Each structure stands twice: as structure tokens, then as C-alpha cells.
């Protein structure tokens, strides 16, 4: 709201949206629009002395009704403003470049330079350092460092390579080093960047089922109030004839009364609330493919989360040394750090650090004693070092047992017991040997992220069940699940297992959310109600999901659920406030309006409004101003608290229900007094 350029654009768009086709998209505000036109015609007629109300009064009503329509347009335009600003920056990143098309991976030297817009799905392009990737695609050869800041806003480059789950690239990003061969996966105009631009500026935003249902309800209310207003007019006309006096209720007054009683507040803000919800998701660097996905996030009650990177830090850390068979802890630590000197993985470095912290053991020079380092391989599942005729190895328990027994040595029973104890705690045991003799075990611990227990407790209060997905064995998975505080876990997870679990929950009536980044996650993502694909993941995962996390952060799913719930809460709270407003305005206006016909209504005129015209003017001014007053709340959203649905409902009914009844009485009276001071009505 403090951005002057955005405000200026919103004011301009407010007048552009007066187009009848635009107004027809919102039935409640269309009623106000037609009422503004009708009162404007009545004002022109009143200038010739025709009509049942003064020209000044009719003009005032017409102007206020036009302002009401403009305020509703402004609410929608200001909500769209942030999306349009983001779309402008994305368009700046989207530009036509020359693409270096090649016939095949083996014919990289046969380059044909073509415009990026002419690329077809399935064609191959080679992109080298300093060049912009011309289209969305999958890396089929090579590896490169890619700058994705134009899309994600993050300045740190990422690695994209062929094979695995980090092969997808986005058109408009830039290769910083090396080269990659990209297979184009989208036609011109249908790229990921094009989808982002369309979504963030709201061009492809469709009304969600909840919005449509609420709009039908609001239309039904409006029809009821039209019938009420018509019956009031005929009843007033009949009573006036019976009493032999002029009908005190003019058509202008009845039109104003209809607008006051119709649910114009929520009708004006409904679209803005939906757009603002999507904008909040965009600000969290998440692209929603539909508004329905955001609403579904608000209704989710099952949350499936990957263990690595979401619940744990992802890098296991050495936590303790457990020596066996007479070996001292310091001897074990020295052998462990020697075997880890060339291990540049986080786990390997943590072994060296732990040995240094516990016993002051320093790293030795790599050239010392003719050291030959044995790298880790998937086949051997061990690594180590040879020096001066000694062999030190560390690795998985099963591999180390085979290694020891293949040399004719006896595998330590004490070591086997320690390995089982570590596994039962959710840790990873690494067995260390020297010259085929077991020295002991390194305890690698999965480090649970700070605060995740509290987050899961909050989700539990919200009625959401959390399920950890991991490839670990059930014993390890159970220990980590207990420490993290999740409600359930799926161990040794397979694509089929994830899909089966999601379907099972959905069959029981649950809404399921999950994250994924690999091709093997695509079936489960396609099945989930809220499917968040990582931007760093494969094209198959992105196409299967209904949201894309541009930051590729697995923890983002929790934020998405909060944003979804906040959207539903904001819409529900303002709907409650709007309907409560209508109830209050009814009892504020009707007594003052018909007190001339029915003096007994004076007892209900608790605000003591000065005249029927003053009551209507005060109410219709309040009706217009309350829209503007609620725009910041519609954009920011109602504050969400992690409490049960029952507490949320009772709290919102108290604040927005009771507040919606009391507020009109206060402000209509204040406006009535101000009109009296300036001599109006």
C-alpha cells in the first residue's frame, strides 16, 4: 500500500474495470454498478423536477454508489499490483536469444544457430558458459553451474547435470561454467516462465470451487434482499395510502437501502482475497498452478514429508566413538580420522572434527608415511587408507564383516551389539578396522533440525497428521520419527509405497500434501491433493505437481499449508463480518426510515438518527468506506494461529461476528453526526 507506483496503477485500473464486461464477473458488485447507473439516471430526471426525491439527495446517493464500485475495483487492482510488478520483472528476464541447435548428443560440433522461439519439443541445444538457456528442458549430457536468480531470486548458482533428479533447467536462466546439452521440453509461449508470468499477474486465475460456492450464496442473499426491498416499497406505499399521506420512501432511497443490505463488503473483497493469497504464495517463492491448489492446502489434514532436508539436516554427523576388544577410544579415533582425511563428504569431515575435539588429534600431512587413500565406492561400501603396511578401513557393518571374515579373521560380537544399538537409536554405524581387525564403531547421527518438534506439535494442534518418508530401515526410521515428533512414518519408501499410502488416505476422506523432486515421485505427486515439486527436480515432477517451490526447500510445504489456511480464514472472517454488517445496517436504517409511517418504531431507533435521508446517507457512506478500510486486511490476511478448528471458529465469530454487528452502529452514528454538523440531510 506504500508503493506509489502500485497505488497509481491501481487507481487507473479501478476506472478501467468499470467496463460492463469486467463488472459482470462479480454479480454482487454488478448489482451496485446497476444501482449507480439507475440513481444517476434518476438524478438527471430530478433536474427537470421529475421524481420522488430531491436532486441533491439523489446526486449524493449516485456519487457514493459510484465510489463503492470504484473502491471494490481498487481492492482487486491493488491485490493484482504485486503480481503485475513481479510479472514485469519476469518479463525482463524473458527475452529471445539465439539457440545453438545440434542434431544429436554425439554431433555437438554441428551447430545450427536458430531463434529460441522457433525451438520445438524434443530438439537438442548446447549451452556453454555465459550463454542463456533458450528454453525449458532436461539436461541429457554434461554438467554446469547455472544462475537461476532471474527465476528464484537466489544469487547462489546451482549445479544441473544429466541423470538423477537435478536435470531440469528453465529457459531464461544462465550457464556460468562448463556446458550442457539440453533436450527442449516445452514449445515457445508455453514455458515455465510464461506460466509464471500468467499466474502471478492473475491472467489465468480461475475462480476456485469454494469461491464459486460462496459467490452463489452471496447472489442468493442479494436476490432475497431485492425481494425484501420490493416488499418494503409496496408495504410503505399501501400504508401511506391508508394514512392519506405521501409515500416517504423514494426509489432512490430503496436502491440505496438495497445496496446497504446486500453483502457488498465481501462481494467487493472476494476477488482481492484470492489474488492476495496467491501473491503471498509467490512471495514465499512458490508458484501455484491453480488457486484450487492453495485452497486445498488450507484443507490438508495429512502431510507427507521427506526425512532428509526436511526433518533432518541431511548431513549425518559423527557423534561418538565406541571401541571394542581392548582398543582404547583414542586409538579408535586416530584410526577413524586417518581413514577420513581424504573423505570430503560432510560425514567424513565430521569424523576428523570429532577426533580433534575429543583428543586433540590433528590432521596428518597427506604425504606422511606414503599414505594411499582408498575412496568410497558403491560396490565396496567402504573407504580407508594404506600406509607402512597397515590397512585402515571404515564402512557399513555388513561390508566390513565380509571384509574381516574374507581375511580369515573373526568378526567381533561386541561390535555387532553396538551396531544394533546405534541402529535402534536412529543412527548410522560405521565400523573401523585396522589390518582386518575390528577396532570399534563410529556413531553417525542424523541431526534433527532445530524447532521441527515444535512445528509438528503446532501442526497437530491444527488437526494435521505428519508422516515422515524415508529410505531407512524401519528400526532407524522409528527412532528418528520418535525424536522428531512426527505422527507416523513410511520406511524403505518406494514410489509404489508412497502412491498406495496416498490413495489409502484419500479413500478414507483425507486431503494429502507431499513434496517430491524425482521422476519416481511423479506418480505420487500426481495423486496428492497438494503436490509441491522442487524447482531443482525433474520435468516429470514439475508437470505432476500443482505447485513448484522455486527455492527447492522441502520445509516449504509447512509454510504452504499455513498460507492456504490463512486464505480460507481470511475469506471466512470477512464473510462473517460482511453478513453481520448487513444485519446491523438493517436494524439501524429501517426504524429511522419508516418512523413517519409507524411512530412505534421510535423505540427501535436506538441510535437516534436525525432523519430517514440522514440514516440512508450515513449507512451508504459507511458501506463504501468499510471496503477501503478492509483492503489492508484482505491483502495481508487474517493472522493464523496454530490452534484447533473449534477455537479458531469461536474466536473469529467473537471478533468478526460481534465486531461486524457493533461497528456499523458506531460509525453510522458518527457519520450521521458529521452530516448534521455540515448541514446535510
Residue 203: predicted pLDDT: 44
DSSP assignment, residue 117? G
Residues 434, 335: contact at Cβ < 8 Å? yes
Active-site position among 306, 446, 472, 529: 306
Domain ranges of the chain: 2-85+200-282+562-678, 98-190, 292-311+449-550, 315-447
Identify the band that residue 62 occupies on the pLDDT scale cut at 50, 70 and 90. very high
pLDDT in tens, 117-129: 888 888 999 999 8
CA dist 418 and 249 (Å) reads 90
Record the cell numbers describing residue 246, joined without a space: 405521501
How confident is the model at residue 366, as a pLDDT?
47
Residues 6+ apart with CB under 8 A from 125: 99, 100, 101, 102, 119, 134, 135, 137, 181, 182, 184
Q: Which pLDDT value is given to residue 620?
A: 92
Q: Is 343 annotated as a binding residue?
A: yes
Does pLDDT of 1 surpass 60?
no
How far is it, in rounded angstroms, from Cα 508 to Cα 606? 53
Q: Residue 431's pLDDT is what?
A: 92
98-190 and 315-447: identical CATH topology: no
Q: What's the pLDDT score for residue 629? A: 93
For residue 20, what pLDDT is reported? 92
Residue 405 in grid coordinates: 571374515
In DSSP notation, 474-525 reads: HHHHHHHHHHHT-SEEE-S--HHHHHHHHHHHHHTT--EEEEE-SGGGHHHH
CB 470 within 8 A of CB 480: yes
At 207 the three-state DSSP class reads coil
555 in a labelled binding site = no
CATH architecture assignment, domain 98-190: Distorted Sandwich (2.70)
Residue 380 marked ligand-binding: yes
Q: Cα-flanking dihedrals φ and ψ of residue 613, to 5°?
A: -65, -40
Q: What is the residue-averaged pLDDT of the chain?
A: 83
Q: Which of 65-74, 137-146, 467-476, 535-544 has the highest mean pLDDT?
A: 65-74
376 in a labelled binding site: yes
pLDDT, position 389? 81
Lowest mean pLDDT among 140-144, 163-167, 285-289, 301-305: 163-167
DSSP string for residues in 630-670: HHHHHHH-PPP-SS-HHHHHHHHIIIIIIHHHHHHHHHHHH
How far is Cα 81 from Cα 77, in angstroms, rounded to an integer? 6
| CATH code of the region 292-311+449-550 | 3.40.50.1000
**Rg, Å, the chain Cα set:** 34
Give CA–CA dist 593/240, Å, rounded: 13
Regarding predicted confidence, which is higher, 462 or 469?
A: 469
Does the annotation list 394 as a binding residue? Answer: yes
| CB of 134 closer than 8 Å to CB of 506 | no
Annotated catalytic, 319?
A: no
How many other β-carbons are positioned within 10 Å of the β-carbon of residue 622?
26
At residue 390, the 3 state secondary structure works out as strand
Encode pLDDT of 496-531 as tens digits: 888 899 999 999 989 999 887 777 788 888 899 888
The model's pLDDT over 197-244, given as tens digits with 9 standing for 90+, comes to: 666 665 445 677 778 888 899 899 889 989 988 888 787 777 767 666
- Residue 670 grid cell: 458518527
Say whether pLDDT at 280 is over 90: no
Contacts of residue 668, defined as CB under 8 A and 6 or more positions apart, other chains included, come to 585, 588, 607, 609, 615, 618, 619, 622
* Confidence check: pLDDT of 569 > 50: yes
Give the pLDDT confidence score for residue 159 in this predicted structure.
81
225 marked as binding residue: no
- Convert the pLDDT of each residue in 335-371 to its tens digit: 888 888 877 777 788 888 888 888 887 655 444 567 8
* Grid cell of 492 as nine digits: 524403505
* CB-based contact 668:609 (threshold 8 Å): yes
What's the grid cell of residue 321? 566413538
Residue 84 is labelled as binding a ligand: no
Decide: 376 and 383 in contact? Cβ < 8 Å.
Answer: yes
585 marked ligand binding residue:
no
- Report if pTM > 0.75: no
Q: Please spell the DSSP secondary structure of 330-366, one letter per residue.
A: HHHHHHHHHHTTT--SHHHHHHHHHHHHHH-PPPPPT
d(C-alpha 658, C-alpha 650), whole Å? 11
Q: With contact defined as beta carbons under 8 Å apart, do 681 and 610 qualify? A: yes
533: left (phi over 0), alpha (psi -120 to 50) or beta: beta
Q: What is the mean pLDDT of residues 163-190?
A: 81
Which of the two residues, 33 and 597, has the higher pLDDT score?
Answer: 33
Average pLDDT over residues 98-105: 90
As given in the structure block, the three cell numbers for residue 365 are 600431512
Give the contacts of 142 (CB within 8 A, at least 6 positions apart).
161, 162, 178, 179, 180, 181
3-class secondary structure, 37 = helix
List the beta strands (DSSP E) in 259-389: 286-288, 302-306, 317-323, 372-374, 382-387
- Which region among 295-304, 336-345, 594-603 has the lowest average model confidence (pLDDT)? 594-603
pLDDT in tens, 389-405: 888 999 888 889 999 98
CA atoms within a 13 Å half-sphere pointing along the CA-CB vector of 254: 21
Report the distance separating Cα 21 and Cα 202, nearest Å. 17
* pLDDT at res. 505: 92
Ligand-binding annotation for 514, yes or no, is no
DSSP 195: H
User: pLDDT: is 476 or 328 the higher one?
Assistant: 328
Write b or e for each residue in 602-616: b if 16 or more Cβ atoms lie within 10 A of its Cβ, otherwise e: eeebebebbbbbbbb
Tell me the C-alpha distance between 419 and 409, whole Å: 18
* 84 pLDDT higher than 80: no
Instruction: Find out whether 517 is annotated in a ligand binding site.
Output: yes
- Report whether 487 belongs to an annotated binding site: no
| pLDDT above 50: residue 55 | yes
Cross-strand partners of 622: none
Gap between the Cα atoms of 273 and 283, Å rounded:
15
Residue 30 has a pLDDT of: 93
Report the pLDDT value the prediction gives residue 167, as an integer from 0 to 100.
79
| C-beta of residue 179 within 8 angstroms of C-beta of residue 126 | yes
Q: Is 435 left (phi over 0), alpha (psi -120 to 50) or beta?
A: left
Q: How far is CA 473 from CA 249, 424, 492, in A?
A: 78, 10, 6
Lowest-pLDDT range, 31-45, 198-212, 435-449, 513-527? 198-212
CATH of domain 315-447: 3.40.1110.10
The DSSP line for 603-637 is GG-TT--S-HHHHHHHHHHHHHHHHHHHHHHHHH-
- Could you give phi then psi for residue 437, rounded to 5 degrees? -110, 130
Amino acid at each position: 500500500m506504500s508503493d506509489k507506483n502500485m497505488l497509481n496503477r491501481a487507481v487507473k485500473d479501478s476506472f478501467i474495470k468499470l467496463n460492463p464486461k469486467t463488472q459482470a464477473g462479480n454479480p454482487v458488485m454488478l448489482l451496485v454498478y446497476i444501482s449507480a447507473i439507475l440513481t444517476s439516471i434518476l438524478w438527471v430526471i430530478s433536474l427537470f423536477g421529475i421524481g420522488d426525491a430531491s436532486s441533491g439527495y439523489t446526486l449524493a446517493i449516485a456519487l457514493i454508489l459510484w465510489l463503492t464500485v470504484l473502491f471494490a475495483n481498487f481492492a482487486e487492482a491493488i491485490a493484482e499490483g504485486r503480481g503485475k510488478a513481479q510479472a514485469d520483472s519476469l518479463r525482463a528476464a524473458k527475452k529471445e536469444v539465439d539457440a545453438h541447435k545440434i542434431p544429436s548428443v554425439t554431433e555437438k560440433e554441428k551447430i545450427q544457430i536458430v531463434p529460441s522461439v522457433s525451438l520445438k519439443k524434443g530438439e537438442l541445444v548446447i549451452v556453454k558458459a555465459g550463454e542463456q538457456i533458450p528454453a525449458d528442458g532436461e539436461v541429457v549430457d554434461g554438467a554446469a553451474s547455472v544462475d537461476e536468480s532471474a527465476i528464484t531470486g537466489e544469487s547462489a548458482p546451482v549445479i544441473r547435470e544429466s541423470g538423477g533428479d537435478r536435470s531440469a533447467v528453465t529457459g531464461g536462466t544462465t550457464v556460468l561454467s562448463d556446458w550442457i546439452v539440453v533436450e527442449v521440453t516445452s514449445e515457445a509461449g508455453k514455458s515455465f516462465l510464461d506460466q509464471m508470468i500468467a499466474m502471478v499477474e492473475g491472467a489465468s486465475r480461475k475462480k476456485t470451487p469454494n469461491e464459486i460456492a460462496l459467490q452463489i450464496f452471496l447472489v442468493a442473499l442479494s436476490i432475497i434482499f431485492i425481494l425484501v426491498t420490493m416488499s418494503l416499497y409496496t408495504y410503505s406505499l399501501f400504508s401511506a395510502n391508508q394514512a392519506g399521506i405521501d409515500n416517504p420512501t423514494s426509489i432512490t432511497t430503496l436502491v440505496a437501502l438495497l445496496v446497504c443490505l446486500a453483502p457488498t463488503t465481501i462481494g467487493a473483497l472476494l476477488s482481492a482475497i484470492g489474488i492476495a493469497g496467491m501473491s503471498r504464495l509467490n512471495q514465499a517463492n512458490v508458484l501455484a498452478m491453480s488457486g484450487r491448489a492453495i485452497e486445498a492446502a488450507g484443507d490438508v489434514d495429512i502431510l507427507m514429508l521427506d526425512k532428509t532436508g526436511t526433518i533432518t539436516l541431511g548431513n549425518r554427523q559423527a557423534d561418538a566413538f565406541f571401541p571394542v576388544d581392548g582398543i582404547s577410544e583414542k586409538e579408535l579415533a586416530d584410526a577413524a580420522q586417518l581413514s577420513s582425511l581424504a573423505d570430503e563428504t560432510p560425514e567424513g569431515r565430521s569424523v576428523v572434527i570429532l577426533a580433534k575435539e575429543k583428543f586433540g588429534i590433528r590432521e596428518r600431512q597427506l604425504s606422511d608415511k606414503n599414505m594411499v587413500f582408498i575412496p568410497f565406492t558403491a560396490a565396496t561400501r567402504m573407504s580407508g587408507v594404506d600406509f607402512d603396511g597397515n590397512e585402515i578401513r571404515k564402512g557399513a557393518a555388513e561390508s566390513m564383516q565380509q571384509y574381516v571374515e574374507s581375511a580369515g579373521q573373526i568378526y567381533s560380537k561386541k561390535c555387532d551389539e553396538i551396531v544394533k544399538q546405534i541402529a535402534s537409536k536412529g543412527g548410522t554405524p560405521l565400523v573401523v578396522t585396522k589390518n582386518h581387525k575390528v577396532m570399534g564403531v563410529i556413531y553417525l547421527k542424523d541431526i534433527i533440525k532445530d524447532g521441527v518438534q515444535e512445528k509438528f506439535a503446532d501442526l497437530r494442534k491444527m488437526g494435521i497428521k505428519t508422516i515422515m518418508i524415508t529410505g531407512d530401515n524401519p528400526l532407524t526410521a522409528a527412532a528418528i520419527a520418535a525424536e522428531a515428533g512426527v505422527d507416523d512414518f513410511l520406511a524403505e519408501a518406494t514410489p509404489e509405497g508412497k502412491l498406495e499410502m496416498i490413495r489409502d488416505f484419500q479413500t478414507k476422506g483425507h486431503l494429502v500434501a507431499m513434496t517430491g523432486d524425482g521422476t519416481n515421485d511423479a506418480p505420487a505427486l500426481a495423486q496428492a491433493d497438494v503436490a509441491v515439486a522442487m524447482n531443482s527436480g525433474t520435468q516429470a515432477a514439475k508437470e505432476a505437481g500443482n505447485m513448484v517451490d522455486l527455492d527447492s526447500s522441502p520445509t516449504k510445504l509447512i509454510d504452504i499449508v499455513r498460507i492456504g489456511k490463512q486464505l480460507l480464514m481470511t475469506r471466512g472472517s470477512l464473510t462473517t463480518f460482511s453478513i453481520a454488517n448487513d444485519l446491523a445496517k438493517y436494524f439501524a436504517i429501517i426504524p429511522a426510515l419508516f418512523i413517519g409511517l409507524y411512530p412505534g418504531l421510535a423505540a427501535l431507533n436506538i441510535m437516534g438518527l436525525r432523519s430517514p435521508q440522514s440514516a440512508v446517507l450515513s449507512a451508504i457512506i459507511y458501506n463504501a468506506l468499510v471496503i477501503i478500510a478492509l483492503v489492508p486486511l484482505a491483502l495481508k490476511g487474517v493472522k493464523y494461529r496454530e490452534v484447533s478448528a473449534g477455537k479458531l471458529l469461536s474466536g473469529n465469530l467473537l471478533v468478526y461476528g460481534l465486531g461486524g454487528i457493533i461497528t456499523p452502529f458506531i460509525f453510522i452514528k458518527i457519520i450521521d453526526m458529521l452530516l448534521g454538523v455540515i448541514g446535510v440531510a
